[in-house]
Chain A
Amino acid sequence: KNEVEQSPQNLTAQEGEFITINCSYSVGISALHWLQQHPGGGIVSLFMLSSGKKKHGRLIATINIQEKHSSLHITASHPRDSAVYICAVRYRDGDTGNQFYFGTGTSLTVIP
C-alpha cells in the first residue's frame, strides 16, 4: 500500500534543458505532493495535486489518477534548480488518510 516509486533516482542536465521527474503509486490517493529538498537540507512544498495540472513559474506538475502517475516538469532548467525532488502521497483509506508516504527522491544536478 505504501509504495511510492520515483524515477530517475539521479539526473544530470545542462542548463536550459527540459526536465521530467516521474512518480507512481499503488492505490487510490486523496492528494499527491511534490517537495523540494535543498542541498542544505530544508524541505519546501512545491505542489499539492488531486487532479489535473498545476503550474508555478517554470515548474509544472501533472497527475493522471487512472494511471496512478504524476510528473514534475522543469522548463528552462537552471543551476539553482539543483536539489532533491520528492513525491509524497496521502492515501484515501480512512486508517491512513492522515499519513504521508514518500518516494526516495530524485537528485537533480543542473550544470551551467
Chain B
Amino acid sequence: NAGVTQTPKFRILKIGQSMTLQCTQDMNHNYMYWYRQDPGMGLKLIYYSVGAGITDKGEVPNGYNVSRSTTEDFPLRLELAAPSQTSVYFCASREGTQYFGPGTRLTVL
C-alpha cells in the first residue's frame, strides 16, 4: 500500500492565483482530513469528509474548497491565493489511527 499520497511537495503561488492540492489514499478509509500547519502553531483542520459525497468545514475553512467524489481522492482547492495561506498542508485518512501524507509546502508571494 502507498498509504496517503500528496502532490505537489512544494509550490510557490502568486497572490490571486488558484491551485489544487491532490490527496489520494489506497486504504479504503472513509474519513479524510485536510490540515494546515503554521510555524509554532498546532495543526488546524480545514475540511474533512466522512465518506464519498460528504464534506464538512473544520476550524479554518475560509479561502478553501474540497470535494470527495470517490473514497480514494480528497482534493483541496485554493481560490485567489493570499499570503496568509502560506503554510504546510497535510492530508490524512483514518480508520481508527490517522495516517498522514508527506505534506505540501506552499508559499504565496
Contacts and interface: CB of A to CB of B under 8 A. Distances in A.
Interface size on B, as a range, is 20 to 34
Contacts of A105: 42
Contact of A45 (B41, B43, B97): B97
Interface size on A, as a range, is 20 to 34
B74 interface: no
Given A2-B59, A43-B90, A48-B96, A102 B43 contact: yes
The main secondary structure of chain B at its interface with chain A is strand
Contacts, number: 49
The main secondary structure of chain A at its interface with chain B is strand
A42 B102 contact: yes
A105 B98 CA distance: 17
A43 B43 CA distance: 11
Interface in A29-81: 33, 35, 41-45, 48
A98 B48 contact: yes
B50 interface: yes
A4 interface: yes
12 contacts: A33-B97, A33-B98, A41-B88, A41-B102, A42-B102, A42-B103, A43-B90, A45-B99, A88-B43, A100-B43, A104-B40, A105-B42
